[in-house]
Amino acid sequence: MSDFFSDFWSNYVAVATLVSILLCALLLWVVARTPAPAGSDNTTGHVWDEDLREANNPMPRWWIGLFVITIVFGLAYLVAYPGLGTYQGQLAWSTEGEYAKDLAKSKRELEPVYARYAAMPVERVAGEPAAMAIGERLFLNNCAQCHGSDARGSKGFPNLADNDWLHGGTPDKIKESITQGRIGVMPPMAAAVGNAEDVKNVANYVLSLSGSPHDSVRAGLGKSKFTACAACHGIGGVGNPAVGAPNLSDRTWLHGYGQDAIVSIINTGKTNQMPAQQGRLTEAQIHVLASYVWGLSNKPILSP
Ligand code: HEC
Ligand code: HEC
């Protein structure tokens, strides 16, 4: 209801609700008071199909009783629960509050489970099948929409199951990625490289770094231009986890493969964001998730 700018619709709903209840009560009262017509045969006088008549009996008491109970219940409900526009009700009940209560309850129940893992290093948690089952569940609920249910990612979303990392693959770095999120920024570089030909040449030099199919004449010409890129991607394009610059000398491509994809990223740059999970997930959940992700590409230390 907070989406409305004025109280108009809130009042409109409240008044319409109360007036309809009032009208129901009024109708009941009028009908119950009207006596059955005296004398005659107690019918309305209408006749159908030759001999079908409509009797005009008063409503049965039990029926009127039910109607009264319904009205009283309706009014009591509207006092206790939110139903009249923005009025919260005496019990201050809300679906949001209910959800928060359920969430707090399940967190309380799970606390001892997580507490055990929180005290263990990531390398050991990854060796606990029960913890990995929780990690997988958390991953499917919170991460799979971007990284895929098998964590192998897709274009723009890094594969978390290989041992190739943009920001570092140590337990601490993985935890940092999840907790704080990550923003990878590659600025548009065409101006620093030169004209369209120079850009193509540098792209072919990049392809040559991983031994991918390329034009070796262009690669030779582009090599000297790569100094502008080496600041982030390192000499030889080996990547730099400190700025999230990918390794360009392997055959793992986050944003597509081939001359056109590379030319495009040099021209337009790229900003890629991983949302911070701090506040969405507890520290203990992030610990288990980091263990799950780490365990996808590393051998865990098994507890004795
Ligand atoms: C909205 C999409 C999205 C969601 C949801 C998401 N991620 Fe990411 N994640 C990304 C993107 C995009 C990147 C790459 C950021 C970059 O390019 O620097 C990334 C990067 C990462 C990295 C760093 C990878 C590396 O190579 O260094 C880790 C670890 C990670 N995510 C784990 C998770 C986990 C665990 C979850 C679930 C809690 C999750 N992500 C949820 C989009 C997402
Ligand atoms: C300021 C640092 C910076 C500079 C300078 C820079 N890059 Fe990047 N580059 C990045 C980052 C960060 C990413 C990853 C973006 C992301 O997180 O998705 C990236 C991504 C790329 C990719 C995509 C890799 C993949 O796996 O798909 C290519 C190709 C690339 N850069 C080539 C270049 C070239 C060529 C130059 C020089 C002309 C250059 N970069 C200069 C930071 C930089």
Number of domains in the chain: 3
Same domain assignment for residues 193 and 257:
yes
The tens digit of pLDDT for each residue in 165-210 reads: 999 999 999 999 999 999 999 999 999 999 999 999 999 999 999 9
- Verify that 137 and 268 share a domain, yes or no: no
Distance 147 CA to ligand 2 centre (A): 20
Average pLDDT over every residue of 130-153: 96
In this structure, the answer to whether residues 175 and 50 fall within a common structural domain is no
In this structure, which ligand is nearest to the CA of 280? Answer: 1
Which residue range forms the structural domain that includes residue 196? 185-274
151, 153, 158, 162: CA torsion to nearest 10: 50
Inter-CA distances, 132 with 116, 149, 275, 299, Å: 13, 14, 22, 13
**Distance of alpha carbon 155 from alpha carbon 272, whole angstroms:** 11
The confidence score (pLDDT) of residue 141 equals 96
Decide if 223 is inside a domain: yes
Strand, helix or coil for residue 193:
helix
CB of 206 shorter than 6 A to ligand 2: yes
**Model pLDDT, residue 59:** 81
Does 291 contact ligand 1 (Cβ within 6 A)?
Answer: no
User: What is the tens place of the pLDDT at every residue in 27-78?
Assistant: 999 888 877 666 667 777 788 898 898 887 778 889 889 999 999 999 999 9
pLDDT of residue 45: 79
Mean pLDDT, all residues of the chain: 92
Instruction: Find the 185 Cα to ligand 2 centroid distance in Å.
Output: 8
12 found inside a domain: yes
pLDDT value of position 190: 95
The percent of residues above 70 in pLDDT, for the chain, comes to 96
pLDDT for residue 274: 97
Q: Which atom of ligand 2 is nearest to the CA of 206?
A: 35
| The predicted structure's pLDDT at residue 244 | 96
Going by pLDDT thresholds of 50, 70 and 90, the confidence category of residue 151 is very high
| pTM of the predicted protein model | 0.77
Residue with CA nearest ligand 1 atom 2? 146
Q: Are residues 13 and 133 in the same domain?
A: no
Alpha-carbon distance 199 to 225, whole Å? 9
- 272 C-beta closer than 6 A to ligand 1: yes
What pLDDT sits at residue 37? 62
Q: Do residues 280 and 140 share a domain?
A: yes
Instruction: Give helix then strand counts, H and E, for the chain.
Output: 13, 4
Flag whether 92 is in a domain.
Answer: no
pLDDT at 81 > cutoff 80:
yes
Substitution site in 134, 136, 182, 287 for ligand 1 pocket (most atoms within 8 Å of beta carbon): 182
Q: Do 268 and 244 reside in the same domain of the chain?
A: yes
The reply to whether 268 and 279 lie within a common domain is no
- Does 177 lie in the same domain as 71? no
Per-position DSSP letters for 152-173, written without gaps between them: --BTTB--SSSS--SS--SHHH
Pocket test for ligand 1, best of 138, 139, 140, 146 (most atoms within 8 A of CB): 146
pLDDT at position 43: 79
Instruction: Give 267-291 as a DSSP string.
Output: HH-EEEEE---BTTB-HHHHHHHHH
